[in-house]
Chains A and B, each alone.
Chain A
Amino acid sequence: MNESLFMGKVTAAMTHEIKNVLAIIRESAGLAQDLLAMAGDSGFAHKEKFLRVMDKIDKQVERGAEIVTRLNTFAHVPDHEIRREDLSSVLDEMLILSHKLSRLSGVNFTVGKGSTSVVLEADPMKTRMTIYRLLEFLTPLVGKGSEIQLKAMKNSHGLPSLGLIIKTASLENFCIDGILADPEWNSLEMEFGSENAAIEPSPERDSFVIHFV
Chain B
Amino acid sequence: MKDWKVLLVDDEKEFVLTLAERLGMRGIQTETAFDGQSALKKLEVDQPHVMVLDLMMPGMSGLTVLERVKKLYPKMEVILLTGIGSTSEGVSGMKLGAYDYLMKPLQIEELIEKIGSAIKKGSSAK
Binding site for B on A (CB under 8 A): 12, 15-16, 19-20, 22-28, 30-31, 34, 38, 61, 65, 68-69, 72-73, 75-76
Contact = CB atoms under 8 A, between A and B. Distances in A.
Contacts of B108: 27, 30
B12 A24 contact: yes
A61 B108 CA distance: 14
A122 B58 CA distance: 36
Nearest to A73: B85
Contact of B15 (A12, A16, A23, A69): A23
Interface string B86-114: 10000000000000000111101000000
11 contacts: A12-B85, A16-B83, A16-B86, A20-B12, A23-B105, A24-B15, A27-B18, A27-B22, A65-B105, A69-B85, A72-B84
A19 B104 contact: yes
Given A27-B15, A68-B84, A19 B25 contact: no
A20 B12 CA distance: 7
A118 to B, nearest CB: 22
Contact of A26 (B21, B25, B56, B105): B105
Given A19-B105, A22-B105, A31 B84 contact: no
A15 B85 CA distance: 9
Contacts of A73: 84-85
Contacts of B86: 16
Contacts of B83: 15-16, 19-20, 72
A25 B86 CA distance: 21
Interface of B: 12, 14-15, 18-19, 21-22, 25, 56, 83-86, 103-106, 108
Contacts of B22: 27, 30-31, 34
Q: Please classify the interface of chain A as helix (H, G, I), strand (E, B), loop, or mixed, using the class held by over half of its residues.
A: helix
A20 B15 contact: yes
A78 to B, nearest CB: 13
Nearest to A25: B105
A16 B56 contact: yes
Nearest to A70: B84
A23 B22 CA distance: 13
Contacts of B84: 15-16, 19, 68-69, 72-73
Contact of A34 (B15, B25, B85): B25
Nearest to B14: A24
B18 A38 contact: no
Contacts of A68: 84
A20 B104 contact: yes
A61 B18 contact: no
B58 to A, nearest CB: 12
